[in-house]
Amino acid sequence: MPLPFLRAALLLAASLPFMAAAAPLSLDTALQLAVERSEAARASRAGVLSATEAARTASQLTDPVLRVGVDNLPFTGPDRFSTTRDSMTMKRIGISQEWLSADKRAVREAAANAATARETTMAGASIAATRLQTALAYADAFYAGQMLTLTTLMEHHAHEELEASRARLSSAAGSSQEVLSLTGAKGSSEDESADARQQQNAARLALQRWVGVMPEALAPIPAEPPLSEEAYVARHPSVVAMQREIEVATQAAAVAGANRKPNWTWEVAYGQRTGYSDMVSFGVSIPLQVSPGERQDRETASKLALVDKAEAELAEARRAATAEYLTLRSDAGRLQQRIERYRVSVVIPAGQRTAAATAAYRSNQAPLATLFEARHAEVEVQRKLLTLQRELARSQLQLAFRPLTDEVAP
């Protein structure tokens, strides 16, 4: 490779880390960083793992019970505590097992799977909440930076105009009143820049809480496709969570209903006697439900009442999600209209006023203070436009990131 090309390649390779460091942070990268470092998301994933492991044991039989003992051990007399002198004394070893029918095990497995699905939904909701809060913090930090850019520009204009007024005063073309007026305007612009810088720092710290790094620059917020009302409500975290609660409550009621039939326990034991025949014992234990209407049936009714409760809460969650969607869409639509109307009726005339004031000042037909007022008014107009755009971005981000999507699967 020729030496000039080698030097260029080495220079490019050496500059890559600095180029990467200077690259602005994008919203997608911020969301990814926030999810990766979210402790709430990690806790939710641990909950899913716990429920999954518990579900794997739901369909299994309980562990068998080993039974070891001595029957009819003499307690008094010359043979007391002897296991070999009395013919009734018997060393016994046995095993017992509680038996669950296949239907009962299937019902318990379904209940455990419903609990796992609920934990999965909770994990997704936690990740979605992290992404939403990160997106809102990103929007605040981005527009705070844009606001600082405007106030810094105004401060620069004020400094230039003050220096120009001082030069005019020294040449007897200006007045001390103009200098004093622009001096106060410069101080006001510096204070506005300091306030904007403080707000930007607070917004960047709020974003750092989610992404873990202090971004030097932020990329513009990309447009997110809006969801329909039906999709928004169907994917809303509270709605999906209540649907999972209904499934859990329904399966719990099914388990309670299955308990209407008791579990049998069988037992086999081997007894050893000294000098006599060994013995084998076997038996079955059957719980007697002496009052199922007062116990098992009431437990089932209790679980069914929880199903009704979850269904009512689901209906309420859907109403709340619908109202939330309509409010956000209405806000976004009205803000979009306000921005378009404000840009046409206020922003463009403000720019034209500044251009006219600049031309008049250059032709000595207007004082310097008039130019400053026009520039200041244009900056204020731009600041209000940024405020409207920030509110619009927040509404759009809530519409895009509050519902559960495939990207928030744990």
DSSP 175-212: -HHHHHHHHHHHHHHHHHHHHHHHHHHHHHHHHHHHHS
Beta strands in 31-187 (DSSP E): 65-71, 90-99
CATH of the domain at 168: 1.20.1600.10
pLDDT score at 159: 65
Mean pLDDT estimate for the chain:
83
3-state secondary structure of 24: coil
pLDDT score at 99: 87
5 falls within a domain: no
What are the residues facing 70 on neighbouring strands? 91
Number of structural domains found in the chain: 1
249 falls within a domain: yes
345-365: per-residue pLDDT in tens?
999 999 898 899 888 877 878
Count how many residues are written for the chain.
Answer: 410
Region 260-273: mean pLDDT is: 90
Q: Tokens standing for 260?
A: 């209407």
69 falls within a domain: yes
pLDDT score at 177: 59
* Percentage of the chain exceeding pLDDT 90: 40
User: What angle (nearest 5°) sits at the alpha carbon of residue 344, between those of residues 227 and 189?
Assistant: 100
Is residue 47's pLDDT more than 70?
Answer: yes
Query: pLDDT band for position 276 (50/70/90)?
Result: confident
Is residue 6's pLDDT more than 50?
Answer: no
Nearest in space to 79 (alpha carbons), one of 280, 272, 270, 274 = 274
Domain enclosing residue 30, as ranges: 24-80+101-266+292-408
- Phi–psi pair at 130, nearest 5 degrees: -65, -45
Is residue 274's pLDDT more than 60?
Answer: yes
pLDDT score at 386: 93
Is residue 68's pLDDT more than 90?
Answer: yes
Is residue 44's pLDDT more than 50?
Answer: yes
DSSP 268-287: EEEEE-SSS--EEEEEEE--
192-203: per-residue pLDDT in tens?
778 888 988 999
User: What angle (nearest 5°) sits at the alpha carbon of residue 346, between those of residues 342 and 348?
Assistant: 105
Between 66 and 58, where is the model more confident? 66
Region 33-52: mean pLDDT is: 84
Region 275-304: mean pLDDT is: 86
375 falls within a domain: yes
Q: Tokens standing for 174?
A: 């200006």
279 falls within a domain: no
369 falls within a domain: yes
88 falls within a domain: no
Say which DSSP state 218 is in.
B
116 falls within a domain: yes
- Round to whole Å and give the CA distance between 219 and 200: 15
